Chain A
């Protein structure tokens, strides 16, 4: 692959995409193809790439197949879905999957905000009961109540959910086995969909799978991380460095399109259309002002059928280079890997920034802690002595990872879970 990383590569985004992220995503594509090639009863399954990150993964994967001449083992399509849309499928029953997801997203927020996110109906005026802070059981009781507010909220959710189910039916071609393909990490979407649409067999092949918050993982039996599968960064496992700056992977793969929130029904005979599918949306998937994703596609375009056996080695080198840029960044890396603000999603409009800023009184340590890329924040705030800070961070991670290995070993020795 001409996109193979080299030590003398120019430090710009397109080159980083071509030489580092490209080989990593080529490896992901090969692993995805192998997973599907060996998937039992693949002819009864559909591979659905989840909006938004999945839309770019689909572009990479389909271009990979075209370049290498490998045939697609399963029917493939895109699914307009988000955690919000998936949450609606379980909303009437308010099971564990839904309540834990809402609890994580809306901790300390009023339940009216949760209702607004789920319904996307700002015109619904709810009583003061909904102004209380979110508590899972209380929310479940409010949602199940017989009063006018609850009926209106449920009705709004049901209308949207019905449209999504029609969309799912159309995209899956009616097949009972659905294999989702998404970026990762925890896999909330598949967890929610498995609860909300139990008449299908659900699987999810993600770029990364990580239970980074130590939550319950009942859906991990049907979820795999093809490129990264670890609950934490382990300094001795190169590819887990992806977890040190996960937002980079997400930012590269998420096109500049809105998160899916609502569907409309053009007519009874037509498939429901999501708010993501704005005019020209398909062309916007590959639009890439920063150059990282263009670099990825440029790398994939260098592949051919003789490249398959080299992909593993190219990816191994690329992961080394990725780790160096993310865990031990230099000033050029800060420029290359600077990201635009990102939305919080789940039906809300607030945005998060790569490097925490604002209140100086918070102190630099807090701002580093709250940044999406802590190593980058260290080097940005302390350009001259930041390397010492990076060593301290790496030592802290090494110590934590070793302790976790030791605890697991002790757990397996004693039979007591760590």
Chain B
């Protein structure tokens, strides 16, 4: 079901989110809300700290927006790191130590819950690995490789991915084209020996091709993409309404 690769191909590189691991039809903003709800529950249940989940949600979004604006300004080819995002979100919410760690754990827990392995693709990759090809993953994400490895190990045990390259680790993104040369250097292979597979037309196809890799476009079904866009619009409207009303339920952090 996937394109055959030429004999000269030694390495299969693949994107992670929406390629190896499928996200559901929820938009990022909705995912952050679920994360915020889980974090608030745990903070309340385990530490007696009552923080409105909307506050956690809004703070996380605000921090991420400003972080990406800063990186885009000073190093448009680089990426933000998850540890920094969580550290700043925790600072703004007045959380330290174990309480701050809950923000991080909630995020990974929700990722695990909302991701599904792309089994047909994983089976094809396993076959390629059996044929002697090296399988690696390349992701534009603020997560470090170890986190992606943890998600893969949990959701797709026995997966054939040997090494994971993330834009946060390399400080180089696929969408800017900077990740691919770094990946080739690290792997010690020529571009024409690598096939890259992914769902993003710019990052995985255009930029991979520009770097000399053979690129394969693996697109999610149209209905998923439409539902996700609709969810993003709904979340945005909700955010605007909350802003417009100028209040948050339980405005302010009530630390107990």
Q: Which residues of A contact B (CB under 8 A)?
A: 31, 34-41, 70, 203, 222, 224, 305-306, 308-310, 312-313, 316-317, 320
Contacts and interface: CB of A to CB of B under 8 A. Distances in A.
Contacts of A203: 73-74
B66 A38 contact: yes
B84 A38 contact: yes
B246 A313 contact: yes
B256 to A, nearest CB: 13
Nearest to A222: B73
A360 B26 CA distance: 63
Contact of B70 (A39, A222, A308): A39
Nearest to B243: A316
A308 B253 CA distance: 10
B227 interface: no
Interface in B51-66: 55, 58-59, 62-63, 66
Nearest to B87: A37
B93 interface: yes
Given A34-B63, A34-B66, A309-B59, A224 B73 contact: yes
A309 B59 CA distance: 7
Given A309-B58, A310-B251, 13 more contacts: A36-B70, A38-B71, A39-B70, A39-B73, A39-B74, A203-B73, A203-B74, A306-B94, A308-B92, A308-B93, A308-B94, A309-B59, A317-B246
B58 A312 contact: yes
Given A34-B63, A34-B67, A40 B246 contact: no
A1 to B, nearest CB: 10
Contact of B246 (A31, A34, A38, A320): A320
Nearest to B55: A309
Contacts of A35: 66, 69-70, 73
A320 B245 CA distance: 11
B2 interface: no
Contacts of A224: 69, 73
B91 interface: yes
A313 B74 contact: no
A313 B74 CA distance: 28
Nearest to B91: A70
B120 interface: no
A-B pairs, top 3 by smallest CB distance, nearest first, are A34-B66, A38-B70, A38-B67
Nearest to B61: A312
Contacts of A316: 243-244, 246
Given A31-B66, A34-B70, A203-B73, A310 B91 contact: no
B70 A313 contact: no
B165 to A, nearest CB: 19
Interface of B: 55, 58-59, 62-63, 66-67, 69-71, 73-75, 78, 80, 84, 88, 91-94, 171, 243-244, 246-248, 251-253, 255
A40 B248 contact: no
Nearest to A310: B252
Name which of A35, A41, A222 has the most chain B CB atoms within 10 A of its CB: A35
Nearest to A308: B92
B92 A309 contact: yes
A306 B73 contact: no
Contacts of A31: 66
A309 B253 contact: yes
A38 to B, nearest CB: 4
B249 to A, nearest CB: 12
Contact of A40 (B55, B74, B91, B247): B74
B142 to A, nearest CB: 11
A36 to B, nearest CB: 8
Contacts of B59: 309
A176 to B, nearest CB: 13
A61 B70 CA distance: 18
Nearest to A204: B73
A402 to B, nearest CB: 19
Name which of A38, A224, A310 has the most chain B CB atoms within 10 A of its CB: A38
A70 B84 CA distance: 15
Contact of B251 (A39, A41, A313): A313
Contacts of A320: 246
Contacts of B88: 34, 37-38
A39 B81 CA distance: 12
A322 to B, nearest CB: 13
Nearest to B76: A221
Given A34-B67, A37-B88, A312 B73 contact: no
Contacts of A312: 58, 62, 243
B89 to A, nearest CB: 10
A320 B247 CA distance: 13
A120 B56 CA distance: 55
Contacts of B63: 34
Nearest to A69: B91
A378 to B, nearest CB: 27
Nearest to B74: A40
Given A34-B67, A310-B251, A310-B252, A305 B94 contact: yes
B93 A309 contact: yes
Contacts of B171: 40
Contact of A306 (B58, B69, B74, B252): B252
B78 A313 contact: no
22 contacts: A31-B66, A34-B70, A34-B88, A35-B69, A37-B67, A37-B70, A38-B70, A39-B70, A40-B70, A40-B74, A40-B78, A41-B74, A203-B73, A305-B94, A306-B255, A308-B91, A312-B58, A313-B246, A313-B251, A316-B244, A316-B246, A317-B246
Nearest to A70: B91
B93 A40 contact: no
A308 B243 CA distance: 16
B55 to A, nearest CB: 5
B200 to A, nearest CB: 19
